[in-house]
Amino acid sequence: MTGTPGDFQGFEAQVAQLRSAGVIVMPSNYQASLLALKIMEKVTGTTTGALGSKPQGAAVQPKADAQASGAETAAQAASAGASDSASLNLVGPKRILSLFTQGLKFINLGLESFAKNLAACETPIVHMDWVPPAGGKPELIQVLDRLENRATVDIEKANAEAVERILSGKPIIKGIGTALETIPGMKPNLFLHAGPPVTWEKMCGPMRGAVIGGLLYEGLVKTEEEVLALAESGKIEFSPCQDHAAVGPMAGIVTPRMSVWIIEKETFGNQAYATLNEGLGKVLRYGAYSQEVLDRLRWMEQELAPILQRAIEHHGHVDMRSLIIKALQMGDEGHKRNRAGTSLIIRELAPRLVMLDEKKEALSRVLSFMHQNDHFFLNLTMPSAKSVLMPAEEVPGSTVITAQGRNGTEFVIQVAGLKGRWFTGHAGIVKGLYLPGFGSDDAAPDIGDSVITETSVIGGVAMAAAPAIVKFVGGTPEDALRFTREYKIPIRDFRGTPTVIDVRRVVEKGILPVINTGIAHKKNGIGMVGAGLVKPPVNCCQDALKALAKIYTT
């Protein structure tokens, strides 16, 4: 170990961590080389000879506690590795010194900058993109090893089944219904919200604003003061959308009267639900509740939803998988850019809309609203993603992530092998671009169920399909390509996105999925102030991994 006590990594702490993991730590490269040669002599039974004159003052043996550890490890190596002596006979000083006369070839592990420096010197170098598993944390490495070697179920087989369930069948639009009559478990006094369970007292500003707007929209109160009294009374119940097979963007508030899309996954027959998208700016899901917001919601309930439902009845079921595939090949990524998808659904339904026995003015309002709202398609993509993932929730032992969500306070995930269990972490602050007059000090923490799109590996992880989105969420076109790694992406030579997210690999590799999302103002009643990028807190995945190991390993 080389360094000084002044190094910002903490020299003593690094040495202590290595020793606690069973590593022999030597005070110099010279002593480490000598010890390595001594171990090789023990293993091969061959004397390699002196490496050269010992520098004045240098000790051959390691210091104090490392000395005993080194001798013990050398003896263990000699005992365990005697059978490998034939392969090590050529190891020795002459062999090592020959490297300097025959030319050096390097393999670089870790920091790529070292490889670049050697390459600049025209030295043969191969860089390996390697980091210690699980960030080098012994506890997590042990958990990964247990799942690898001591699992009571075949995890790879379970994950293969989960993937098969996800890929089998396609999501289709069945129609539009009211939340009270359509969503399982919905009640007249129940409001659904995004993310994990949260009480009124702990709700963030945007969610409180959306609840206020929901109570006004339902006609349960007339003033904001009455809203606060009712919300605090306990007479209104709150429950996560995803506990009811629904998903809600941003605050995600779903009230009994609201109209919802009904998406069904063929093959399994499970359904998922989401409200109709209001557009951007001052809208309920961002916490706004002005008269303009309420009037729009009532128009959507009374005119938009009934007309779209009749158009779907004339059209028949709409294949959402086909539309999403096309949208990603036309410049969308399925979360923050939905212009192509919205155009496709308009093309799909317009011929049926114009044939309805409705006033021209009403049809014009419907088509104009869809045309002017590029995010209209998002509220179809979200329940489609949810419906696709739901069948994987019933696979014991699977480590596939099946749900993610945020409520403006906490970020949560669920994994297939632990159905119904939420693993939580703090919701982060989104880094992105802000509307004029707003900045990061105005931002609420990350919020919304729209991360279900990233869970089904579109959205942020498919940004290569939509490099233009960086003008909206921040970053560069190179970032958009880098974040994408199985919907086919033209710019990637039609290589697909991943199919699922495996919680084991997230912890092992330390690579968190990228989420692109909107930014709500931290105070209620204001609405959208920007958009950007965020990642989930890693402890969600770490906690889920530990829980899987506790249940599925010996």
362 and 433 fall within a common domain: no
State the Cα–Cα distance between residues 315 and 545, nearest whole angstrom: 45
Residue 346 CB neighbour total at 10 angstroms: 16
- Residue 197 inside a domain? The answer is yes
Calculate the alpha carbon distances from 478 to 453, 463, 466, 518 in Å.
21, 10, 11, 21
373 and 402 fall within a common domain: no
- Residue 72 inside a domain? The answer is no
Who's near 225: CB < 8 A, 6+ residues apart? none
336 and 413 fall within a common domain: no
State the Cα–Cα distance between residues 20 and 50, nearest whole angstrom: 31
In contact, 249 and 206? CB cutoff 8 Å: no
The amino acid at residue 458 is I
Who's near 433: CB < 8 A, 6+ residues apart? 472, 473, 474, 530, 531, 532
Q: Longest Cα pair distance anywhere in the chain, in angstroms?
A: 100
Q: Please list the pLDDT of the chain residue by residue as tens digits (554 residues).
A: 888 888 888 888 889 988 998 899 998 888 888 888 888 888 777 765 544 444 444 444 444 444 444 444 444 444 444 444 444 445 566 766 676 677 778 899 888 899 999 999 888 999 998 888 998 899 999 999 999 999 999 999 999 999 999 998 899 999 999 999 999 999 999 999 999 999 999 999 999 999 999 999 999 998 878 988 998 899 999 999 999 999 999 999 999 999 999 999 999 999 999 999 999 889 999 999 999 999 999 999 999 999 999 999 999 999 999 999 899 888 888 888 899 999 999 999 999 999 999 999 999 999 999 999 999 999 999 999 999 999 999 899 999 999 999 999 999 999 999 998 999 999 998 888 888 999 989 999 999 999 999 999 887 677 666 565 544 445 554 444 444 444 455 555 556 677 899 999 999 999 898 888 889 899 888 888 888 888 999 999 999 999 999 999 99
In contact, 432 and 236? CB cutoff 8 Å: no
State the Cα–Cα distance between residues 430 and 6, nearest whole angstrom: 34
Torsion sign over Cα 283, 285, 290, 293:
positive
428 and 471 fall within a common domain: yes
CATH number of the domain within which 209 lies: 3.90.1710.10
- Residue 229 inside a domain? The answer is yes
User: Would you state the structure tokens that stand for residue 419, as one six-digit string?
Assistant: 């159905």
- Residue 187 inside a domain? The answer is yes
505 and 451 fall within a common domain: yes
272 and 160 fall within a common domain: no
502 and 547 fall within a common domain: yes
201 and 315 fall within a common domain: yes
State the Cα–Cα distance between residues 409 and 195, nearest whole angstrom: 9
Who's near 298: CB < 8 A, 6+ residues apart? 217
Residue with tokens 């050096």: 104
pLDDT computed for residue 224 by the predictor: 74
State the Cα–Cα distance between residues 142 and 159, nearest whole angstrom: 21
- The length of the chain, given as a count of residues: 554
Closest CA to 483 of 502, 501, 459: 459
Residue with tokens 């690999």: 505
- Residue 3 inside a domain? The answer is no
429 and 530 fall within a common domain: yes
Calculate the alpha carbon distances from 82 to 23, 37, 94, 96 in Å.
21, 15, 22, 21
Closest CA to 279 of 326, 338, 321: 338
Burial class (CB in 10 A: 0-12, 13-18, 19+), 505: middle
Last residue of a domain, one of 349, 367, 386: 386
414 and 373 fall within a common domain: no
Last residue of a domain, one of 386, 416, 442: 386
Last residue of a domain, one of 359, 386, 413: 386
Who's near 97: CB < 8 A, 6+ residues apart? none
Residue 20 C-alpha from the chain's centroid: 32
pTM (whole model) above 0.85 = no
Per-residue pLDDT tens digits for 193-209: 999 999 999 999 999 99
In contact, 220 and 231? CB cutoff 8 Å: no
State the Cα–Cα distance between residues 69 and 80, nearest whole angstrom: 16
State the Cα–Cα distance between residues 435 and 166, nearest whole angstrom: 38
- Residue 321 inside a domain? The answer is yes
pLDDT computed for residue 139 by the predictor: 95
Residue 57 CB neighbour total at 10 angstroms: 5
Residue 311 CB neighbour total at 10 angstroms: 23
Burial class (CB in 10 A: 0-12, 13-18, 19+), 442: middle
351 and 466 fall within a common domain: no
- Residue 306 inside a domain? The answer is yes
End-to-end CA distance of the chain: 36
State the Cα–Cα distance between residues 543 and 71, nearest whole angstrom: 38
Per-residue pLDDT tens digits for 275-295: 999 998 899 999 999 999 999
DSSP strand pairing (190-193 vs 401-407): unpaired
CA atoms within 13 A on the CB side of 125: 17
Show the domain range for 496.
Answer: 155-164+394-552
Closest CA to 217 of 184, 248, 257: 257
Residue with tokens 């889920």: 544
CATH number of the domain within which 425 lies: 3.90.1700.10
State the Cα–Cα distance between residues 405 and 340, nearest whole angstrom: 25
> Which DSSP letter does residue 239 get?
E
- Residue 465 inside a domain? The answer is yes
The DSSP code sequence of 339-371 is: HHHHHHHHHHHHHHHTTSSS-HHHHHHHHHHHH
318 and 408 fall within a common domain: no
User: Would you state the structure tokens that stand for residue 256, as one six-digit string?
Assistant: 């009994």
For the chain, what is the domain count? Answer: 2
pLDDT computed for residue 543 by the predictor: 97
